Structure 1
């Protein structure tokens, strides 16, 4: 029996309440986690899975949509706890997950240091130090745009760059579901581009949103915001209208 389970993880970050939504995909033979939260989130993941009568010890694979810390921070711990899992990443993003290349977020933050002073400089340096502590994880399988993975009714890889160059979303044709990662987020009930000021290529991010219109999407799951309530196509078109001059 195929199934999709949203893991709503609530936590405090920098004095603010936040929620992220990793996803578990399940069939008769597979239990696949899409993204995994910050370092130290393994207990939160296990608790959220248990609440849906699922056990992380049955995990077979973890798919990382991209290498931002809130998506891969617990990846190394997951691999250590459950060494049987296969970690999957987009081909161009994999070297950042494994630590072969310096995180693009570190490079982005370092590029701002010369223009910062005082508390802003201190916070940026603190952020860089935090990112440098993230433990790398092995990547056993890489994927590229339009690859089809055979599990859980089929999973199509959709390259959605912009937020990061190697960002991907996942399309489940059997249920017409798109797991967006950070390609889009939900803010005040509407779709938005995730932290546009930090997108590594905002124009690419907008093009990725436009590309999503090529898919019949009945359910849209955002890492920040969870399951979107409303007409997905209309919401994507409204988002694009806000960036029509981009």
Structure 2
């Protein structure tokens, strides 16, 4: 088993940006972690092929949490590869399926109330984006401490960014896929987008939990992977 970082470049308001979904490779079986923004499926498929992997071998998609940049293309992937198993935490699954209004949408709608007039249009556009996301039921739900992918990957509950956020720990690879529980900030692990965390105190505790693992490599969805210097790790 190994983990492949998939850098996805895109433009927003004329500026270049990247996200870094992860691809877990186990023989011919592929597992994608998070699907990027809506309409990003072709970008991710091309990145997979560039690294020598056939998207037809996609068997699982693990969603770390409900956010538009993590579930945006999920519906497209499930439609094209219907046998793919969608895996999410028990807490996030109702949001991903559309059974319950997502925490992010509730937050975005609440922020509109006190938003400055000059920011209102962008705030309303974000709310509409979240409302337009197409939902997909999870095929499998997981919880903290559970082992998946043949016992090679442990689910870590890392709440804060959202209530049901999960990260993935691979002891044999000394690696963690963090989702938005951590970001690579100038070669240090930090809380990702603290201004959008639903519970900043929990996010900080989750970050401590990830650091305490002292893994060699942390695959962050934003700003890319970090090869950790364990001598500087903080519990």
Superposed CA deviations along residues 8-40 of structure 1, whole A, max 9, x for unmatched, are 001112333211111111112521001110000
**TM-score, normalization: structure 1?**
0.91
2 CA distance for matches of 1:105 and 1:181?
16
| Aligned pairs (5 A) from 1:200-215 | 200-215=198-213
Correspondence for 2:181: 183
- SS of residue in 2 equivalent to 1:4: strand
Counterpart check, 1:161 vs 2:159: yes
- SS of residue in 1 equivalent to 2:172: coil
Correspondence for 2:124: 125
2:194 aligned to which of 196, 205, 215: 196
1 CA distance for matches of 2:222 and 2:146?
25
Superposed CA deviations along residues 40-79 of structure 1, whole A, max 9, x for unmatched, are 0011011100101101111000000001110110000000
Q: Structure 1: 5+ residue runs without aligned partners?
A: 241-246
Aligned-pair distance for 1:234?
Answer: 2.2
Aligned-pair distance for 1:97?
Answer: 0.4
More moved, 104-113 vs 213-222: 213-222
**TM-score, normalization: structure 2?**
0.95
More moved, 226-235 vs 63-72: 226-235
- SS of residue in 2 equivalent to 1:180: strand
Report the aligned-residue RMSD.
1.5
More moved, 222-231 vs 161-170: 222-231
2 CA distance for matches of 1:183 and 1:39?
21
More moved, 16-25 vs 223-232: 223-232
| Aligned pairs (5 A) from 1:31-180 | 31-151=30-150, 154-180=152-178
Correspondence for 2:225: 227
Counterpart check, 1:21 vs 2:20: yes
State the aligned residue count.
235
Q: Structure 2: 5+ residue runs without aligned partners?
A: none
